[in-house]
Structure 1
């Protein structure tokens, strides 16, 4: 876990030659994620710490394309684990925020759940408050 602020990193070895376009011609994860975040105006990206290398690669790609994440905050949390010790993953069918929202959860409920998982007792009303609480707990 890193303190808030600007972090300067080189591309990790595993991302030295990351894929931008797949064999089928479609954009690979690094590019499509970058484009989605920019298109939708995402200003806070919360990911598991296992995706740190992807974040660095996407940031590198954004700079190369002249589309820096100037106003975007990134937070990499400890992995959330299932009882069996396996990491929770949307791609493996584990519960997603979208699923919770369809079940009637409000944004505040989701923020509170995230805060609890990170060991924070407060109930944040929005992502800015959650971000502040998470940074205080680091």
Structure 2
């Protein structure tokens, strides 16, 4: 082989090795860039019971759509409401209800069950929607 062909093969080999070695670097960069962007919908599943809400705290970003599946496995109706956010939903016995809302302002908002269980004044029947 002449020297021109050898040097071209050497250069192409070095470029190929560099590109192969760079693949994990670019994949890692892509993952880092996608972590910081919030999802358009924050999905939650909340169990309602005589013991309260599980989980009792929901966290989302301002302006983000919040989708909450409220699951009631008991033989009595429950309620999911917030005076501060101006919503009120009944969750019939042994059923589930999906609620979607958008909160534009950062804050810590109270939600509660006001059907049974001592009403909204009962601390175990309260929860928080925390918007950052």
Fold conserved between structures, TM > 0.5: no
Q: Name the structure with the higher strand share.
A: 2
Give the alignment's TM-score, normalised by structure 1.
0.25
Radius of gyration: which is bigger?
A: 2
Q: TM-score, normalised by structure 2?
A: 0.26
Higher relative contact order (CA 8 A, sep 6+): 2
Which structure dedicates a bigger proportion of its chain to helix?
A: 1
